[in-house]
Amino acid sequence: MEQVTAATIKAAGKVIAVHLAYQSRADQRGRTPAKPSYFLKASSSLSLSGSDIERPAGCELLAYEGEIALIIGTAARRVSPAEAWSHVGQVSASNDLGVYDLKYADKGSNVRSKSGDGFTPFGPALIPAADIDPAALRVRTWVNGELVQEDTTAGLIFPFSQIIADLSQLMTLEPGDVILTGTPAGSSVAVPGDVLEVEVDAPAQGLSTGRLRTAVVQGTTELAEFGNGPKATDTDREDAYGSAEAAGLAPKGLSAELKRKLTSVGTATLSAQLRQRGLNNVSIDGLKSTRPELRIAGTARTLRYVPNREDLFKTHGGGYNAQKRIINTLNDGDVLVMEARGEPGTGTVGDILALRAQVRGAAAIVTDGGVRDVAAVAALDMPTFFTGAHPAVLGRKHIPWDTDLTISCGGATVQPGDIIVGDADGVLVIPPSLAQEVADAAISQEHEETFIAEMVAEGHGVEGLYPMNAAWKAKFAQWAATHPHPAAQP
């Protein structure tokens, strides 16, 4: 088979990469796109098998992504999916390398994070596209000889024909252009000394690119102050490594222990503790629960509706809109909080999407708007907090507009990641930084109130007992020694 050479690289006028294309990767990231999206890499980032890749000085998050590379054979402009594959000349292996430390610098364009010299090795061999079935290819990645990525094109969200046809709608794909078709789950961070290998093969035909080999070395030239320097957040680390656990970070969301504590006490007690800390405007008001017997605690994901305007609903309301997208990416313990402007005159969620939220593991849905199919929604295990029932569909009053931003719900400000606690008394928003402190204090308060209630039941008056004076506090201490609060310890 023909080998990738310097001439092959020189022929590549452009390098186009797909953001997210494999379902396994989408599941790992917690979101599945409705349509493909792309970014450009400099053709100068292409390199041959056996080349070194330099991790820039000061950077820690050089991530590898084993991918199938398509090399355009004949020009494609406005081609259909049915004819798209005929415009591919060869297939090869590629490694879409990038430094997450510089991802912030170009606001999503990936210019500096993905286009460094050598950041797109591909090869070593080229498989003729005419000899293979594009739906039956396999891509594998090894780090220091250990297999870390493996998937087949059967796992693609978007087939190659769709990607080629889509790109050709607005640009001519010219002979030699390279399309990187996305990476499956398993991408992570490489460090100097690592050897990365990627292979693409067609098992049914016994054809293979061979292993594309790249060695990671440490750069020594610091980035100058006249440009953006390396900067990495925990979110960048989680994305680069593939998960919070792999990055050595505490998992996002509530720990099981904190959730247990928060749901062991009532929102009335938690509200009192928040008030003691100067937080009076953290109650989402005017809601009732489909499951008032349940207490919930989880982390906020947010969705904002804007008032319906017919022309805007056509572009934002139909299809895979913001409402459906966020519900389809909820994770275990999330609470979906919706800003519906307190408008009860239409549903903001119905039985199918509420069921989908439950299947995704959501702890609850909170909306200051209405709910459709309320009997079916109330029959779910997952509670929904809402203003009232209404039979009308979403579009009567609302357009689902945007997600994961600061919103207003029931008179309270809610940010993504805030802790939401709810029961029959209401719904509270707790800043994550205060959650542990407030939970522990609420447990102590309820323990004292259990003692006070017992004393009142025995006939004692409330003067000096509620709140307790020094004498009663001493009696409480004796009582507490033999009556531990069940939520105080695991």
Instruction: With a cut of 90, say whether residue 153 has pLDDT above it.
Output: yes
What count of other Cβ atoms lies within 10 Å of the Cβ of residue 455? 19
**Contact present, 397 and 346 (Cβ < 8 Å):** yes
Q: Is 352 annotated as a binding residue?
A: yes
Check residue 267 and give its pLDDT.
Answer: 95
Residue range 20-49: mean pLDDT, rounded: 90
Q: Topology of 6-241 in CATH?
A: Fumarylacetoacetate hydrolase; domain 2 (3.90.850)
Instruction: With a cut of 80, say whether residue 252 has pLDDT above it.
Output: no
Q: Tell me how far apart the alpha carbons of residues 400 and 306 are, in angstroms, rounded to a whole number.
A: 7
pLDDT digits (tens, 9 = 90+) for 265-318: 999 999 999 999 999 999 999 999 999 999 999 999 999 999 999 999 988 888
What count of other Cβ atoms lies within 10 Å of the Cβ of residue 41? 24
Residue 148 makes CB contacts below 8 A (sequence gap 6+) with 141, 142, 186, 188
- Average model confidence (pLDDT) for the chain? 92
Q: Is 31 annotated as a binding residue?
A: no
**Contact present, 400 and 317 (Cβ < 8 Å):** yes
Instruction: With a cut of 70, say whether residue 250 has pLDDT above it.
Output: no
Rounded to two decimals, the pTM is 0.62
Check residue 343 and give its pLDDT.
Answer: 95
Q: Is 52 annotated as a binding residue?
A: no
Q: Is 372 annotated as a binding residue?
A: yes
Instruction: Please state the separation of Cα 151 from the chain's center in Å.
Output: 21
Percent of the chain topping pLDDT 70 = 98
Instruction: With a cut of 70, say whether residue 322 has pLDDT above it.
Output: yes
Residue range 376-403: mean pLDDT, rounded: 95
Instruction: With a cut of 80, say whether residue 338 has pLDDT above it.
Output: yes
| β-bridge mates for residue 338, sequence order | 303, 367
pLDDT digits (tens, 9 = 90+) for 175-226: 999 999 999 999 999 999 999 999 999 999 999 999 999 999 999 999 999 9
Domains 6-241 and 280-430 agree in fold = no
108: nearest Cα among 61, 32, 38, 181: 38
Q: Which two tokens stand for residue 161?
A: 């024909």
Q: Is 237 annotated as a binding residue?
A: no
**Amino acid at site 330:** L
pLDDT digits (tens, 9 = 90+) for 37-87: 999 999 999 999 999 999 999 999 999 999 999 999 999 999 999 999 999
Q: Where are the domains positioned within the chain?
A: 6-241, 280-430, 436-482
Check residue 359 and give its pLDDT.
Answer: 93
Q: Is 62 annotated as a binding residue?
A: no
Which of 26-35, 45-54, 91-100, 167-176 shows the lowest mean pLDDT across its residues? 26-35
N- to C-terminal Cα distance for the chain? 63
What is the length of the chain?
490
Domain 280-430 is found in CATH 3.40.50.300: no
